[in-house]
Amino acid sequence: MARQSREYAHRKGHWAETIAGLLLQAKGYRILARRYRSPVGEIDLIARRRRRLTFVEVKLRATIDDAAWSVSARQQSRIIRAAEHWVSRNAQHAALDIAFDVILLAPWTAPRHLRDAFRV
């Protein structure tokens, strides 16, 4: 039963990241990476629009408010470290403006894109 639950959560997470990626593309972003894993953390989406390099956390919860509250300070710290790792391995993007965004998703609600949701 626990395995089925994990698989279901994985599928929902993948769906949420797909929706978030489509939203970003509609806004003119180019997706550079999905589900980037590093030794220090994971980043759901990495996207670029003009001179803005964006590291995106995607949250799907029962409500938009629940999704917003689920991005903890500890998680933000891991995302920042993972972003530093990605930039160190992709030096051609190092001169861009770096941002940390969050895309919130909930059933029957329009996705909400929070630009500059947190800072280094």
> What value does the mean pLDDT take over residues 88-100?
95
- Which domains, from first to last, does the chain contain? 2-118 (3.40.1350.10)
> What value does the mean pLDDT take over residues 69-98?
95
Model pLDDT for residues 12-63, shown as the tens digit of each residue = 888 999 999 999 999 999 999 999 999 999 999 999 999 999 999 999 999 9
Banded model confidence at residue 4, pLDDT cuts 50, 70, 90: low
* 43-49 contacts at long range (C-beta below 8 A, 24 or more positions apart): 43/79, 43/82, 43/83, 43/86, 44/17, 44/20, 45/17, 45/20, 45/21, 45/103, 46/83, 46/86, 47/21, 48/93, 48/96, 49/24
Banded model confidence at residue 78, pLDDT cuts 50, 70, 90: very high
Counting residues of the chain whose pLDDT is more than 70, the rounded percentage is 97
Q: How many CB atoms lie under 10 A from the CB of residue 53?
A: 21
CA distance 19 to 28: 14
